[in-house]
């Protein structure tokens, strides 16, 4: 994607009063970020949610100067960027209404391939919490090689998740509440440096953005939306981990929590999630894998592959089944839509027919696996 378009994409998110939802709506109406800035004010003012005041701000184009400075930072530091209309934008985030219109990342990891698990918890994690976190990641590394661990690079459970991922050779992504020109807290800089070799540092914020508290609340939705499931290791009765769990529930993601004693403040949030059916109880990686149905049973692995009579299938169904057969663990429905370049509604309809025909099986998390 040329930097010329990036300038307008950055400019769009810089306009005060235009958040991610409005930015996406504008692009949907006009066709591109550049088109938004080239459109007449009278036309912009008629777009729902814009009006006279915001349309005047857009046509001023003052934000484009700041956008050009950001592009220099991006080029100098080899930052990758992804607009919500790009093919490499995380497909899981695309289905979230309030996901960032533009993402910035640094590193060698991916944002779409494999399974993504978010691990969150208290900043002042207990030794038991850290042990649970490390054991969970050790289990996942052994049971599911294509897993990526996502967390927030904060103190406590977050940094334990990242360090454990590095220890067991699992790709890990740190979602930041500031720009890529800094690491906060600074003490985690060495860990962050190692993460970019096998994973990513990811943010929606431009360089120069301070690590203010509201930013970290906002970044929690990225952790939730980017993942297939969220695991809360430890949490008080209030805190950022519960916010992430709540958003994950809203996004229809699977949420899990480690239980604790009723007298432990560090487990109060986890126990509350479990008690109110907002999270499933897990005690190990094996529990998690079983809940997510990411295991391949011995019976399934020994079952011979049955030839499908392609003559009875449409070309679209043949293409979909061929794609599913390449992924024994299954493929998420949104990932299928992206891979086959077809609307979500069309993919869902095809999958329903194929499920009735005994060709595919629907698993938790909107994942489909070929049966024949």
Segment 65-77 mean pLDDT: 96
What pLDDT, on a 0 to 100 scale, did the predictor assign at position 298?
A: 45
CA gap 160, 121 in Å, rounded: 10
Contact 353, 317 (CB under 8 A): yes
Q: 19: which 2 tokens?
A: 């958040």
Quick check: 312 pLDDT over 70? no
Determine the Cα–Cα distance for residues 213 and 320; give it in Å rounded to an integer.
Answer: 44
- Provide the residue ranges of all domains of the chain, joining segments of one domain with +: 3-77, 107-292, 298-370
Q: What is the separation, in whole angstroms, between the first and last Cα of the chain?
A: 39
Distance between CA atoms of residues 55 and 40, nearest Å: 9
More confident: 344 or 196: 196
Local structure of residue 304 (DSSP, 8 states) = P
Least confidently predicted of 146-155, 239-248, 293-302: 293-302
pLDDT of 31 over the 80 cut? yes
Question: Cα torsion at 301, 303, 304, 310 (round to 10°)?
Answer: -100
For position 299, what pLDDT does the model report? 43
Instruction: Tell me which of 45-59, 259-273, 277-291, 314-328 is least confident.
Output: 314-328
246 prior amide bond cis, ω within 30: no
Two structure tokens written together for 252: 């229809």
Amino acid 306: pLDDT? 43
Q: How far is CA 59 from the centre of its chain?
A: 33
Q: What is the pLDDT of residue 296?
A: 54
pLDDT at site 372? 62
pLDDT at position 247 is 97
* Contact in structure between 176 and 253 (CB atoms under 8 Å): no
Render pLDDT for 112-144 as a digit per residue (tens, 0 to 9): 999 999 999 999 999 999 999 999 999 999 988
Cβ(99)–Cβ(122) under 8 Å?
no
Pairing outcome for strands 200-203 and 102-107? antiparallel
Mean pLDDT of 52-69: 93
Q: What is the pLDDT of residue 121?
A: 97
Mean pLDDT of 43-63: 92
| pLDDT exceeds cutoff 60 at 1 | no
Q: For residue 22, is pLDDT > 90?
A: yes
Per-residue pLDDT band for 318 (boundaries 50, 70, 90) equals: confident
Contact assessment for residue 201 and residue 125, using Cβ atoms and an 8 Å cutoff: no
Helices (H), the chain: 3-14, 20-30, 33-38, 41-45, 51-60, 63-77, 91-94, 127-143, 157-167, 189-198, 213-226, 240-250, 268-275, 285-292, 298-302, 315-325, 333-340, 344-356
Among 166, 144, 136, 141, CA closest to 153: 166
pLDDT exceeds cutoff 70 at 2: no
- Considering the domain 3-77 in this protein, what is its CATH number? 1.10.150.20
- Over the stretch 251-309, which tens digit does the pLDDT of each residue have? 999 999 999 999 999 999 999 999 999 999 999 999 999 999 887 544 444 444 444 44
Render pLDDT for 72-103 as a digit per residue (tens, 0 to 9). 999 999 999 999 999 999 999 998 999 999 99
Lowest mean pLDDT segment, chosen from 79-83, 129-133, 200-204, 323-327: 323-327
> With respect to CATH, is domain 107-292 assigned 3.40.50.450?
yes
Residue 1 is encoded by which pair of tokens?
């994607």
Looking at residue 256, its pLDDT comes to 97
Which of 304, 136, 156 is closest to 229 using CA atoms? 136
| Six-digit token string for 154 | 């904060």
The topology (CATH level 3) of 298-370 is Arc Repressor Mutant, subunit A (1.10.10)
Q: What is the pLDDT of residue 304?
A: 44
């Amino acid at each position: 994607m040329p930097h010329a378009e990036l300038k307008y994409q950055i400019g769009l998110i810089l306009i005060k009063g235009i958040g991610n939802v409005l930015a996406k709506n504008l692009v949907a109406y006009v066709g591109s970020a550049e088109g938004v800035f080239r459109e007449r004010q009278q036309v912009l003012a008629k777009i729902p949610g814009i009006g006279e005041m915001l349309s005047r701000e857009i046509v001023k184009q003052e934000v484009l100067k700041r956008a050009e400075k950001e592009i220099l930072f991006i080029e100098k530091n080899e930052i990758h960027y992804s607009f919500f209309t790009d093919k490499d934008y995380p497909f899981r985030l695309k289905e979230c209404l309030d996901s960032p219109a533009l993402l910035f990342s640094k590193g060698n990891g991916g944002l779409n391939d494999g399974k993504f698990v978010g691990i969150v918890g208290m900043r002042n994690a207990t030794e038991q919490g850290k042990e649970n976190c490390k054991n969970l990641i050790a289990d996942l590394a052994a049971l599911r090689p294509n897993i990526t661990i996502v967390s927030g690079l904060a103190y406590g459970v977050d940094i334990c998740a990242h360090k454990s991922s590095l220890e067991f050779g699992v790709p890990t992504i740190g979602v930041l509440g500031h720009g890529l020109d800094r690491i906060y807290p600074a003490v985690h800089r060495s860990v962050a440096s190692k993460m970019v070799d096998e994973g990513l540092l990811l943010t929606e914020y431009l360089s120069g953005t301070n690590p203010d508290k509201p930013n970290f609340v906002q970044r929690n939705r990225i952790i939730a939306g980017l993942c297939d499931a969220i695991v809360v290791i430890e949490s008080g009765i209030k805190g950022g981990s519960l916010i992430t769990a709540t958003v994950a529930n809203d996004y229809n993601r699977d949420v899990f929590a480690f239980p604790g004693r009723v007298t432990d403040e560090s487990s109060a949030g986890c126990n509350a999630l479990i008690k109110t059916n907002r999270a499933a109880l897990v005690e190990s990686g094996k529990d998690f894998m079983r809940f997510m149905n990411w295991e391949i049973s011995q019976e399934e692995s020994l079952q011979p592959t049955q030839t499908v009579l392609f003559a009875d299938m449409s070309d679209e169904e043949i293409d979909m089944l061929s794609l599913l057969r390449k992924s024994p663990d299954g493929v998420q429905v949104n990932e299928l839509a992206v891979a086959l370049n077809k609307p979500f509604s069309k993919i869902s309809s095809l999958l329903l027919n194929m499920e009735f025909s005994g060709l595919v099986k629907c698993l938790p998390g909107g994942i489909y696996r070929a049966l024949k």
